[in-house]
Amino acid sequence: MPQAAAKVLILLVPITANFAALTALLQPQDRLMGLGLPDGGHLTHGYYTAKKKMTASSIYFQSLPYGLEPATQLINYEALRSQAKIYKPRLIICGASAYPRDWDYKTLRAIADENGAYLMADIAHISGLVAAGEQANPFEYCDVVTTTTHKTLRGPRADLIFFKRTGDNAKDLEKRINDAVFPACQGGPHNNTIAGIATALLQACQPTWKAYAQQVIANARTLGSELVSRGYKLQTSGTDNHLVLWDLRPLGLTGSKLEKLCDLVGITINKNAVSGDASAQVPGGIRLGTSALTSRDMLEADMKVVADFLHRAVQLALVLQKEAGSKLLKEFVRIATIQEEGKQGAKQVLELRKEVREFPRRWPSPGVDVSTLTMPEGFLDE
């Protein structure tokens, strides 16, 4: 992944990498710009509300977020350039927690240079796709690159920091980042985790890795297009990576409710803000990813089945919301789990859960023979 002029530093705790990098690059109250949380950025990029600074990066530094173009939900790089001329940040962060498109690192490098800023890429979600050459390469343009190792990279839960050792901004960078990690932000290493990271990186060097990454993206695009074909709205109208960001606001449904319902039927998703949300605490969307399903060898045809499950879950959520007769999340969950006379929602939850739980048995976990696997009595109906 990195070029020869870069070095990698292994960390152990996710999120620590970003704060260690900020500690190395910035002085307290220096300015940084990152994609705002409601527009797909990450908490560590400096999120705060009118009443509260949410993370250390917004407490110790001046966070001045950039956003998306409302009409397209895409990053407007010229608007970012104009903002940077006003804010004069010491650091620009690119990368996101929920942005389904790729990044223009060359333009971002130019904007950073125009303002004497460092450029840092947080590729936590897409590093496995970058390693396969299926997403743009940030190492060519960025001073620092951070990533987790347990998402598309499929390793243990940990972090990595990459930094340049040559170039205009590289003076003392290695020492500053080393010192920021230890003793400033972190203690001793976990050698078992380091071994897990090494194994994951070795896998990413294999020829099969590119096929995995390509299938991840193909699956995400199929999943997204299937949802669009059913009349649903996606952020940016599609995806270039492993993420599908689904806007539920046109349905009058919150991401919180769909997340709870999917938990009940055995589908793991998470609520997520979408561009224009007033609150990240009560988000209007959900975030879907295809890395885990792809790792279990699911293909495009299987994504169509998954999309159908999700479609049915949304339609069921609308039924439950109506039966609850209240906007409260706890009442929504209650009506989904307790069968009441004259109401069908809770019964349909059990029916959908049974189908969802049966579906992944076609892709057993390593070492598990599903032909001899017996479920506890009531497992599919509890």
pLDDT at 68: 94
Same fold, 6-204 and 210-362: no
Per-residue pLDDT band for 11 (boundaries 50, 70, 90) equals low
Query: Which tokens in the block code for residue 69?
Result: 């173009």
Q: How much is the pLDDT for 276?
A: 86
Q: Which whole-number Å values give the CA distances from 101 to 29, 222, 242, in the listed order? A: 31, 15, 9
User: Which string of DSSP letters, residue by residue, matches 304-367?
Assistant: HHHHHHHHHHHHHHHHHHHHHTSS-HHHHHHHHHS--TT--HHHHHHHHHHHHHHGGGGSPPTT
Nearest-angstrom CA–CA distance, 71 and 235:
10
Q: Count the helices and strands in the chain (H runs, E runs).
A: 13, 11
The helix (run of H) or strand (run of E) holding residue 221 is helix 208-229
Q: Can you give the pLDDT at residue 123?
A: 97
What is the arithmetic mean of pLDDT over 141-166? 93
More confident site: 277 or 96: 96
Cβ–Cβ < 8 Å for 136, 161: no
Give the number of other CB atoms < 10 A from CB of residue 239: 24
| Section 87-103 average pLDDT | 96
Q: Domain 210-362 is in which class?
A: alpha beta
Q: How far apart are CA 124 and CA 152, in angstroms?
A: 8
| pTM (whole model) above 0.75 | yes
Q: Higher confidence at residue 281 or residue 326?
A: 326
The token pair at 248 is: 């539920």
Q: What is the DSSP letter of 375?
A: P
Topology adopted by domain 6-204: Aspartate Aminotransferase; domain 2 (3.40.640)
Which has the minimum average pLDDT: 100-114, 190-204, 260-274, 354-368? 354-368
Q: What is the pLDDT of residue 81?
A: 98
> Domain segments of the chain: what residues?
6-204, 210-362
pLDDT tens column, 99-152: 999 999 999 999 999 999 999 999 999 999 999 999 999 999 999 999 999 999
The DSSP element (H or E) to which 233 belongs, if any, is strand 233-234
- Using 50, 70 and 90 to split pLDDT, how confident is the model at 169? confident
Percent of the chain with pLDDT over 90: 74
pLDDT in tens, 51-72: 888 888 899 999 999 999 999 9
A 10 A CB-CB count for 69 gives 15
